[in-house]
Amino acid sequence: MPTRKRFVAGNWKMNTTLAEAKALGAAVAKGVPSDSPVAVAVCPPFPWLLPVGEAIKGSAVALGAQDVHSEKKGAFTGEVSPAMLIECGCKYVIIGHSERRHILGESDSAINQKLHTALDEGLHVILCMGETLAERDRSLQERVFQRQVYAACAGLTDEQFGRLIIAYEPVWAIGTGKVATPEQAQEAHAFVRGKLRQLYGEKIADALPIIYGGSVTPDNTAGLMNQPDVDGALVGGASLKADSFLAIVKAASA
């Protein structure tokens, strides 16, 4: 089985003051060793990218953003381009988070456009996907995974797949305190990897990290990480406290 480096990212969402963001970034940077076997990133709100980037500078922690526009520049008031994120020091960007899909109405085609632009400009992308509770209750989750994989990854090159991370986030587990069981997470990740293998070949499917997101805590990380197709975590609420986020990183390192 190929060895995929584990990856843990903190999605701070629309939280933190400037002072809190700087302190949180500094504490995470201090707590992640330079030889960490797990790749780590923090994704603060747009206004805090530069100060958090300074707070983590020189550490093993990378900077990420929570979204990006699908065009490289132009008259798009309020939007942020991939080049702007890179100038701020970002390595990663989250695309297709369920809150953007289901609250802000982002379509599969819009997510594919964002994915292409971000990868064309050199960013690494954390692509989110997952089913709602209604879809799971009707046993439609595999149909949802298949549609989202087909739509988001259409047209990607082999090189671009090398900078892609998929985050499986069951929508019913985000911010609810509910979490998929390790077995449910493994089942979803294995299905997605199988679809990638059918579409793009064994090399891409086996190398691509698939991480889990949805009420991840220090207590449930180890069980998730023990699954063969779970390669890390996209952490929401627990990433807002350095101690809990670092405990998740530590559990993922085991």
Length of the chain counted residue by residue? 254
The annotated binding site for substrate is made up of: 11-13, 175, 215, 236-237
CATH of domain 6-253: 3.20.20.70
CB atoms within 10 A of CB 37: 11
User: Would you kindly state where each structural domain of the chain is located, as residue ranges?
Assistant: 6-253
The annotated binding site is made up of: 11-13, 175, 215, 236-237
Among 99, 106, 131, 169, the one annotated catalytic: 169
Give the pLDDT of residue 57.
98
C-alpha dihedral over 63, 64, 65, 66, to 10 degrees? -140
Print pLDDT tens along the chain (254 aa): 457 999 999 999 999 999 999 999 999 999 999 999 999 999 999 999 999 999 999 999 999 999 999 999 999 999 999 999 999 999 999 999 999 999 999 999 999 999 999 999 999 999 999 999 899 999 999 999 999 999 999 999 999 999 999 999 998 888 788 888 999 999 999 999 999 999 999 999 999 999 999 899 999 999 999 999 999 999 999 999 999 999 999 999 98
User: Is position 97 annotated as part of the catalytic site?
Assistant: yes
Among 69, 97, 116, 189, the one annotated catalytic: 97
> What's the CA gap between 12 and 82, in Å, rounded?
19
CB atoms within 10 A of CB 125: 27
User: Is position 102 annotated as part of the catalytic site?
Assistant: no
> What's the CA gap between 240 and 48, in Å, rounded?
14
